[in-house]
Amino acid sequence: MTRWLTEPEMRAWRALVSRTHHLMGELDKELQAEHGMTVAEYGVMALLSEAPDRSARMTDLAARENISPSGMTRRVDGLVRKGWVERVRCPEDRRGSFAVLTDAGFEQLRTAAPDHVRGVREHFVDQLSERQLANLAAALERLD
């Protein structure tokens, strides 16, 4: 006996999928055009910039960004090619390696951040009330 989705449930589900997808697409195009980087790359660099020594293990990065280890390897590959990140072999566990944000990477992030934040505000944050944002965060953080 299947409990089908009610009309409000369906609306919430469809809105979540389609709005999020569209939103990410817009932000990606903007950040790519203005600063030659993707939102995914931005995410990694933002994480690194706030980490001790501006560095983190590959596994941690993958977990924090919700992608597979191999996906993170390639994402970091791209950042290394652009000179924004370096790899450093881990001394006390020679299997692992650190991704470290370079000075050029930090500067790139500093330059891109205002534009990216403006994009997030324009397409998302500033279109909702403080209350709506709080409710949305509370709801989504409850999942899983």
Q: How far is the CB of 77 from a copy of itself (least distance, A)?
A: 21
- Check residue 68 for interaction with DNA (CB under 7 A): yes
Q: Is 97 in the site for DNA (CB under 7 A)?
A: yes
Nearer to a copy of itself, 4 or 52 (CB): 4
Give the shortest CB-55-to-a copy of itself separation in angstroms.
Answer: 21
DSSP the chain: ---PPPHHHHHHHHHHHHHHHHHHHHHHHHHHHHHS--HHHHHHHHHHHHSGGGEEEHHHHHHHTT--HHHHHHHHHHHHHTTSEEEEE-SS-TT-EEEEE-HHHHHHHHHHHHHHHHHHHHHTGGGS-HHHHHHHHHHHHT--
Rounded Cα–Cα distance for residues 122 and 91 (Å): 44
Considering the complex, state which of residue 33 and residue 143 has its C-beta at the smaller distance from DNA: 33
From CA 77, how far away is CA 79, in angstroms rounded?
5
Applying CB under 8 A, which of residues 34, 74, 104, 117 lies at the interface with a copy of itself? 117
Out of 18, 32, 59, 111, point to the residue binding a copy of itself (CB under 8 A): 18
- 87 in contact with DNA (CB under 7 A): yes
Contact between 11 and a copy of itself per CB under 8 A:
yes
22 scored as a contact of a copy of itself (CB under 8 A): yes
Interface residue list for DNA (CB under 7 A): 25, 29, 38, 40, 57-59, 66-78, 87, 90, 92-97
